[in-house]
């Protein structure tokens, strides 16, 4: 998003709870079977399920446009399909801790 719309976008500006650094675009299809977070310190992975695309809203799309020539429609289209992120739920009801340095794992198709 920053490369498309500018440096005024900072990590967490879209209200994210968890940010995952990756060198590739993530699609809903890649997350269809869920994902796991492996604690860096060891232990059992924490599974996430019920993955849904976090569709962009008009107010956030207007915010990202600051200083660009793109339209709201173009911003909404660019930010959709998972670019803005995903919603998901923990598979277990027990409290969990997710920390910097944990790894995200995708099941094999």
Burial of residue 48 (number of CB atoms within 10 Å: 0-12, 13-18, 19+): buried
- Find the domain containing 76 and state its range: 2-11+26-105
- Local structure of 36: helix, strand or coil: strand
For residue 30, the 8-state DSSP code is: G
Residue 76 lies in a domain: yes
Cα separation, 82 vs 35, in Å, equals 15
- Local structure of 88: helix, strand or coil: strand
pLDDT confidence of 34, banded at 50, 70, 90? very high
Number of domains in the chain: 1
pTM: predicted TM-score of the whole model, two decimal places = 0.83
Give 41-96 pLDDT, tens digit per residue.
888 899 999 999 999 999 999 999 997 888 999 999 999 999 999 999 999 888 88
Residue 36 lies in a domain: yes
Residue 17 lies in a domain: no
Residue with tokens 């998901």: 88
Residue 91 lies in a domain: yes
């Amino acid at each position: 998003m920053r490369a498309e719309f500018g440096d005024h976008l900072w990590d967490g500006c879209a209200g994210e709870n968890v940010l995952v650094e990756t060198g590739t675009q993530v699609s809903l299809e890649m997350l269809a079977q869920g994902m796991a977070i492996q604690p860096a310190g060891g232990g059992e992975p924490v599974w996430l399920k019920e993955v849904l695309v976090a569709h962009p809203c008009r107010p956030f799309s207007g915010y990202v446009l600051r200083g660009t020539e793109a339209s709201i429609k173009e911003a909404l289209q660019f930010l959709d399909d998972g670019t803005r992120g995903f919603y998901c739920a923990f598979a277990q009801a027990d409290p969990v801790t997710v920390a910097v340095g944990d790894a995200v794992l995708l099941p094999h198709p």
